[in-house]
Amino acid sequence: GRRIGQIVSTVAIAPTLVELAGLDSSGPAFHEASLAPLMRGGAEDSDATVLGQVDFIPIVPREAKKAAHKNALIGNRFKLIRDEDTGRLELYDLRDDPKETRDLAQSRGDVAQELAAELEKRLNVVGGETPTPGELTLTDEEIEKLRALGYDGNAR
């Protein structure tokens, strides 16, 4: 084993396993490239990026303000986050600000716009627009199963 510095996505696990099994991992079935070449000592891609997505709707109505529908493009240097409800962009320099405390979307607008365009391309590759999350209604049985696991709909 060895440690690599390139950012990778868990979505690359399937094509990696397929390639390591000796099968063809190219084609439209996979949205990320196999990591097998990296595992075999191949060169890292310092410009690699991965797509991140968050769709969260609280099951407790009073917590609705915590809902999130965001997409992100994450690279070794920059992370761009786009709020799909408002269109707001956030940009962080992961090398200089790994805890993401300083939003650079305004001061580095050129980088933000370039990454936003790349984010849009990546979303189109994985199937166009990300579906808007909807509300889920649970049955009494499902609610009881969640409570048995320790979830409490009345907790804050």
Over residues 67-79, the pLDDT tens digits come to 789 999 999 899 9
Residue 119 has pLDDT above 50, yes or no: yes
- CA dist., res. 113 & res. 37, Å (int): 31
Q: 26 vs 16, which has greater pLDDT?
A: 16
pLDDT at 112: 97
List, in sequence order, every residue forming a beta bridge with 55; answer none if it has no partner: 69
- The set of residues, in sequence order, having a beta carbon less than 8 Å from that of 9 and lying 6+ positions away, is 32, 50, 51
pTM: 0.70
pLDDT classification of 9: cutoffs 50, 70, 90: confident
Among 63-67, 83-87, 131-135, 143-147, the minimum mean pLDDT is found in 131-135
pLDDT at 154: 58
**Phi and psi (nearest 5°) for 104?**
-105, 10
CB 6 within 8 A of CB 38: yes
CB 54 within 8 A of CB 33: no
- The set of residues, in sequence order, having a beta carbon less than 8 Å from that of 100 and lying 6+ positions away, is 79, 92, 94
pLDDT at 153: 61
